[in-house]
């Protein structure tokens, strides 16, 4: 069942979204060679708690940290650690969830560490572009998979592949609500999108094949072929005026 949010609820979700966006800015500014993902995790924890927000990921199905930090060929759900030291040329996908007044904001982005290869840069831009293509379809009257198809078509036109095993999701008082939002498939299927739906759209894009696997830590998802991967996500409300990106920095 897709939970429809009132304009009042979307206002609260916009505040959760802003906190999430601000945490991302903090991370983006801190990322540099020599920094550990454990430091980024502590920084975000402190920031969220200072604002009276609650980290959404820690303890969720047992996840052990505040942020997900996925390095290079890691796709999603990487666990921050003092042992993971960023190096020039790395790319780091960071996923942050924040709860404000009971509602969740969820956003991810892939950041370059210093100067990265032109191919890595192109992967990041293609994935960010895929998210924009998906958001543009988050319009009342469209079908859910219009989002999916727009993402896949864009990604494949750029020569990359979309991950099949993980998908976007509805979001509200729970981090994962209906519907699931695949990043692939033909347009025109699934529920009709309507005002008041709030969706976390999140393409995960691999430079090589789309196959992924989970490491022995039970969390970290990596590309099977070892190729680089990028991930962008926004929490988006469908409104009368069109898609409202709640996790974009104001
Ligand atoms: Mg998400």
Residue 85 included in any domain: yes
CATH number of the structural domain spanning residue 121: 3.90.230.10
- Report helix, strand or coil for 181: strand
Full domain range(s) for residue 108: 7-245
Residue 141 included in any domain: yes
- What confidence score (pLDDT) does residue 68 get? 98
- What confidence score (pLDDT) does residue 124 get? 99
Distance CA 64, CA 44 (A): 14
For residues 214 and 115, the answer to whether their CB atoms sit within 8 Å is: no
Distance 188 CA to ligand 1 centre (A): 23
Residue 15 included in any domain: yes
User: pLDDT digit of tens for each residue in the chain (250 aa)?
Assistant: 999 999 999 999 999 999 999 999 999 999 999 999 999 999 999 999 999 999 999 999 999 999 999 999 999 999 999 999 999 999 999 999 999 999 999 999 999 999 999 999 999 999 999 999 999 999 999 999 999 999 999 999 999 999 999 999 999 999 999 999 999 999 999 999 999 999 999 999 999 999 999 999 999 999 999 999 999 999 999 999 999 999 999 9
Residue 235 included in any domain: yes
- What confidence score (pLDDT) does residue 227 get? 98
Report CA torsion sign: 186, 188, 192, 195. positive
CA angle 206, 63, 246 (to 5 degrees): 65
- What confidence score (pLDDT) does residue 32 get? 98
Distance 176 CA to ligand 1 centre (A): 7
Distance 236 CA to ligand 1 centre (A): 11
Q: Calculate the alpha carbon distances from 78 to 74, 95, 147, 220 in Å.
A: 7, 9, 26, 4
Map tokens 């500014």 to a residue: 29
Distance 168 CA to ligand 1 centre (A): 6
Task: Count Cβ atoms below 10 Å from residue 83 Cβ, excluding itself.
Answer: 8
Residue 147 included in any domain: yes
Extract the tokens encoding 126: 């293609």
Distance 202 CA to ligand 1 centre (A): 6
For residues 201 and 234, the answer to whether their CB atoms sit within 8 Å is: yes
Extract the tokens encoding 114: 């210093």
Number of structural domains, the chain?
Answer: 1
Distance 200 CA to ligand 1 centre (A): 6
What pTM did the predictor assign? 0.98
Report cis status (omega within 30 of 0) of the bond before 214.
Answer: no
Element (H, E) at 128: helix 118-136
Distance 121 CA to ligand 1 centre (A): 23
Residue 2 included in any domain: no
Distance 83 CA to ligand 1 centre (A): 25
Distance 174 CA to ligand 1 centre (A): 11
Distance 106 CA to ligand 1 centre (A): 6
């Amino acid at each position: 069942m897709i939970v429809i949010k009132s304009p009042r609820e979307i206002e609260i979700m916009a505040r959760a979204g802003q906190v999430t966006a601000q945490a991302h800015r903090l991370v983006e500014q801190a990322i540099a060679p020599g920094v550990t993902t454990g430091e980024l995790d502590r920084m975000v924890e402190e920031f969220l708690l200072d604002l009276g927000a609650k980290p959404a990921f820690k303890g969720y199905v047992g996840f052990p940290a505040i942020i997900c930090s996925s390095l290079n060929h890691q796709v999603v759900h990487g666990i921050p650690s003092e042992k993971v030291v960023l190096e020039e040329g790395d790319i780091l996908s960071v996923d942050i969830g924040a709860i404000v007044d009971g509602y969740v904001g969820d956003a991810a982005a892939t950041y370059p560490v210093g100067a990265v290869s032109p191919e890595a840069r192109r992967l990041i831009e293609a994935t960010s572009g895929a998210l924009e293509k998906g958001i543009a379809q988050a319009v009342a009257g469209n079908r859910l998979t219009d989002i999916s198809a727009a993402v896949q078509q864009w990604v494949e036109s750029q020569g990359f592949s979309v991950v099949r095993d993980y998908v976007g999701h509805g979001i509200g008082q729970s981090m994962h609500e209906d519907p699931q939002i695949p990043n692939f498939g033909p347009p025109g299927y699934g529920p009709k999108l309507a005002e008041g739906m709030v969706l976390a759209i999140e393409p995960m894009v691999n430079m090589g094949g789309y196959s992924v696997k989970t490491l022995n830590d039970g969390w970290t998802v990596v590309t099977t072929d070892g190729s680089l991967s990028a991930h962008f996500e926004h929490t988006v409300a469908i409104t009368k005026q069109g898609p409202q990106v709640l996790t974009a920095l104001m």
